[in-house]
Amino acid sequence: MKRVGIGTRVLNFLVDTVLLALIAYGVYRVDVFYAMYYKAFFMPYYLWFDATLVVYYTFFEYIFKRTPGKWLSYTKVVTNNGGKPSFLQVLIRSLVRLTVIDCFFFPFLEKTLHDYLSKTEVVEV
């Protein structure tokens, strides 16, 4: 079980963020259409992005233990002792990603805040 470095994690982040932004933008445009033509409730893009982020990471990491970015880099999410993460651990990972300070813990903890709080790691397959 070899933990991945910062370069792999940045690659994962970039790939997942691009996909996430495209999905969130599509959902946002549908919401704009319904809000404009049917006077439905309207949510700004950043709220759609945040909601999509939580659903995206929770779905992929719980079902497959990896996101599309992690598939690309041949990595996966495991618990600290190498097992499959529980739904609660994956949900904690996803919710903590919403915080701005998440990535700033890497130099101090040698892992991100969402890894530290959920007791998980990203390792090579």
User: What pLDDT, in 10s, does the model give residues 34-55?
Assistant: 999 998 888 999 999 999 999 9
Is residue 117 in some structural domain? yes
Q: What is the pLDDT of residue 106?
A: 81
Give the pTM: 0.92
Is residue 33 in some structural domain? yes
Residue 102 predicted with pLDDT over 90:
no
Alpha carbon distance 36, 43 (integer Å): 12
Q: What is the pLDDT of residue 103?
A: 79
| Domain total of the chain | 1
Is residue 74 in some structural domain? yes
Output 13-17 pairs: Cβ under 8 A, ≥24 positions apart: 13/69, 14/69, 15/67, 15/68, 15/69, 15/72, 16/56, 16/57, 16/67, 16/68, 16/69
Is residue 1 in some structural domain? no
Which residues neighbour 22 within 8 Å (Cβ) at sequence distance 6 or greater? none
Mean pLDDT in residue range 3-21: 94
Q: What is the dihedral of CA 94, 97, 103, 104, to 10 degrees?
A: -120
Q: What is the pLDDT of residue 100?
A: 84
13: domain range?
Answer: 6-124
